[in-house]
Amino acid sequence: MASHHISRRDFMKLVTFGAGGVIVAGVGIPAIDYLIAPALRKNAAEVWIPLGPLENFEIGKPVLVNFTRSKVNGWERTANSYGVFVVRKSETEVVVFSNICTHLGCRVNWNETVGGYVCPCHDAEFGPDGSIVRGPQPRPLNRYEGDNLKIEDGVVKIFFSEG
């Protein structure tokens, strides 16, 4: 019997599950936004960082320069430490490498005996020019150059951006 009448029982079922669905969606959809809210936040920083006078760097010897940037994450101000290798090429030329390994983000160290940058996590090895020597890394070390690097009043500066 194809009837348009709906039994009292089925009607109650429909209303119950319908109301339940509305409640679940009403809490559930905002809850998804609630969970991913920090991922959608812009927390960008762009700034010139002075690394020190060029004349202080010895020619041909990589020097690690650390600097700290703080930013507000949630309810806390987080201080992040960064490091870059400054390599003075000549009287006027300089190269700056990020010390962040291009494999999975550990920090590489300059290894005098190897004559390159070595990552302690998975043995990625980079040459003095930041190129891949061996290991799992997909790219050479990031370098600051062109518009992201300048020497102003004899001081080496890099353009730091994130976010």
**Binding interface with another protein (CB under 8 A):** 27, 30-31, 33-35, 37-38, 40, 74-76
- Which CB atom, from 18 or from 38, has the smaller least distance to another protein? 38
The Cα 149–Cα 88 span in angstroms is 13
Shortest separation between residue 78's beta carbon and another protein, angstroms: 13
Is residue 43 within 8 A of residue 52, CB to CB? The reply is: no
Nearest to another protein of 138, 163 (CB atom)? 163
- Closest contact distance (angstroms) between CB of 103 and another protein is 30
Of the candidates 107, 110, 45, the one whose C-alpha atom is nearest the C-alpha of residue 82 is 107
Whose Cβ is closer to another protein: residue 9's or residue 153's? 9
Nearest approach in angstroms of CB 68 to another protein is 21
CB of residue 13 to another protein, shortest distance in Å:
9
Q: What is the rounded distance in angstroms from the CA atom of residue 22 to the CA atom of residue 143?
A: 53
Distance CA 53, CA 146 (A): 18
The gap from C-alpha 145 to its chain's centroid, in whole angstroms, comes to 19
Based on CB atoms, which residue is closest to another protein, 75 or 91?
75
Residues 144, 161: contact at Cβ < 8 Å? no
Would you say 15 or 31 has its CB closer to another protein? 31
Taking the C-alpha atoms of residue 118 and residue 131, their distance in angstroms, rounded to an integer, is: 12
Closest contact distance (angstroms) between CB of 28 and another protein is: 9
